[in-house]
Amino acid sequence: MKLQRRSTLSLAIILSLIIGCIVMTGCGGKDGDDKTIKVGASPAPHAEILKEVKSELEKDGYKLEIVEFQDYVQPNKALDAGDIDANYFQHKPYMDEFNAKQGTEIVSLGAIHYEPLGLYQGTKKSLDDLVEGDKIAVPNDTTNEARALLLLESEGLIKLKKDAGLTATKQDVVENPKKLEIVELEAAIIPRSMSSVAMGVINGNYALSAGIKEDTAITFESSDSEAAKTYANILAVKKGNEESEKSKALFKAMTSDKIKKFIQKKYGNAVVPVF
């Protein structure tokens, strides 16, 4: 009877140990998903770049899982909830504003690339073709409208108030020799509206997604502009994970020479690596 009780007790202990190991995902203390890095990203160019990163991460024994998002809210919510390990779609000013409004603690591992705004051909093919009253579409969000106006100013089409900088709006236009009509539209809509405007200022990611060819761009923001320094797209993680092995491996892979060359070859002036 004692032997049976001991056997039953021993079996119970063994089962408890097995269950414990399963719960801890391995007696060795290693998480079963420890070598899988899940990254949230916008489809283009972010997810496209990440696909190239897969082989770089494999060298360090990691598997990359890419989760595509169509908006700019869910990737940060998923990161904050721990559903993904990192995200790649935003610039630091947007991240900082999101943190302030949502109470999240998301931080940047570093800048990866910059997407210059481009002034693209609509019904007119060159700046010389513009006539009085022509319409030029610009993004209607605060950040990108200011960038668009600065781009128009750099081409001599308008002049802004002194020091308007990255907070510029239409109200800051002090000179407009051709009396151009600046039409404010949602950034994502502009690529579909080019047949109704003389020209349009388009975000790099929206131009890529819409299949707008780079050779239809009249000019791009300068890579050394104030906007380029401020609005580079970053790799972000939840605060506290900056020094994790996954974060280190991911950032190393994303800033490799192979990825830099891939970005330069595939996107030209539309996407510029900053590492």
- What ranges make up the beta strands (E) of 92-228? 106-114, 118-121, 135-139, 159-160, 173-175, 181-185, 199-202, 217-220
**pLDDT (mean) for 128-143:** 95
Residue 275 has pLDDT above 90, yes or no: yes
Structure tokens at 208: 């890529």
Q: How far apart are CA 165 and CA 204, in angstroms?
A: 20
Integer Cα distance of 26 and 24 in angstroms: 6
Choice between 221 and 24, residue whose per-residue pLDDT is larger: 221
pLDDT per residue over 57-86, tens digit each?
999 999 999 999 999 899 999 999 999 999
**pLDDT of residue 180 exceeding 70:** yes
Of the candidates 200, 201, 199, 210, the residue with the CA atom closest to the CA atom of residue 116: 201
pLDDT band at 33 (very low <50, low <70, confident <90, very high): low
